[in-house]
Amino acid sequence: MGGTARCFVCGRRASVYVSYLGEYLCPEHFVEYFERRVRETLVWFRLVERGDRVAVAVSGGKDSLTTLYLMRKFSEEMDFEVFGVAVDEGIAGYREYKLEALRSLAREIGVDVHVVTFRELFGLTLDEAVAALRERGFEVKPCTVCGVFRRYALNRAARELGATKLATGHNLDDEVQVFAMNLIKAHADGIVREGLVTEPASERLVPRIKPLYFIPEKEVLAYTLIKGIHTPFVECPYIVYALRHPIRHWLNEVEDEEPGAKYRVLAFKEVLRNALPPPPKEMMLCRICGEPTSHPVCRACELKSYILSTRAGRDDAGRGGRAAGVARLPPHPG
């Protein structure tokens, strides 16, 4: 990047362009800048407090590994505990490689990682769920099921492990992409829900925090390269089914044309969030699994029942068991 560019701080050869500063930085000053920015996010917005027990949701990708690494790094001086929670969705040829990268980093920095699987929680792997969805012509997308199941699994595992916060690796690009998807789906609740901190509407929901919220994806990548945080270059095989994929490309094109566009969109999201009505505070407990939900049956149980009502779902899940008494309706949106 920028062959002759010089570091804004020390004048040495630069390697990273930081769009927020509009300046180039050498590896050493970039690392310093990056870590300071994440630390300031934690402190200024009170994402963590003394005595917190922070579960980091780790997928094994660069964002979550960086989050785990930095939370571990800041945990001593800021006096909180850290451990990792990983979800094994059951995606052959993908998940095992990511988990290996995760285990190796966790060993290196001395952090425990707990792994929960879709099979144990829902009675089937994501690969099996996708076979069932295919049978129904993908009227529900794999990423929808995975997203709902993963969110459910992470919250439940974090809570059962006594976490007071659940940190995720979402970066600036992720936030802007999700915001764009919520706009396209006219999903106001989603816009209100996705912030830097998610205040839970139920004591059975662990508050979620996003330490990399203000960091562009490119900078997370630069940080992992400089720090030697390795993750294999395998992509989820189901990404082609995701709306997120084209939106990501489109936003990158817009950013090239209009530098700073992503920051402005993120800032505008805050304006909108403040203008929109807050999500309903009253939550009930799912009549099947007992997890908090805004409907009588939670979205995870509804999707599970929908999947198991197909031939592929029944065959693959085997004794996984049908959720009795739930309608076969296509799940409600959102």
Nearer of residues 231 and 305 to Zn ion, judged by Cβ? 305
**85 or 148, CB closer to Zn ion?**
148
Using left for φ > 0, alpha for ψ between -120 and 50, and beta otherwise, residue 291 falls in beta
Residues near Zn ion, by CB under 5 A: 7, 9-10, 26, 29, 286, 288-289, 298, 301
User: Which is nearer to Zn ion, 265 or 301 (by Cβ)?
Assistant: 301
Which residues in 292-323 are b (16+ Cβ under 10 Å) and which e?
bbeeebbbbbbbbbbbbbbebbeebbeebeeb
CA dist., res. 194 & res. 143, Å (int): 17
CB of 154 to Zn ion, least distance (A): 15
Which H helix or E strand runs over 285? strand 284-285
Q: Which is nearer to Zn ion, 154 or 286 (CB)?
A: 286
The CA distance from 89 to 121, in Å, is 10
- Taking the complex as a whole, the smallest distance from the CB of residue 34 to Zn ion amounts, in Å, to 13
CB of 291 to Zn ion, least distance (A): 5
Tell the smallest beta-carbon distance from residue 8 to Zn ion (Å): 7
Q: How many CB atoms lie within 10 A of CB 174?
A: 20
Shortest Å distance, C-beta 204 to Zn ion? 12
Whichever of 10 and 92 has its CB closer to Zn ion, that residue is 10
Number of H helices, E strands in the chain: 13, 10
Task: Pick between residue 42 and residue 288 the one whose CB is nearest to Zn ion.
Answer: 288
Give the per-residue SS3 of 50-77. Answer: CCCEEEEECCCCHHHHHHHHHHHHHHHH
Reading the block at residue 298, the tokens are 């939670």
Confirm if 1 and 17 have CB atoms less than 8 A apart: yes
In whole angstroms, the minimum distance from the beta carbon of 274 to Zn ion comes to 31
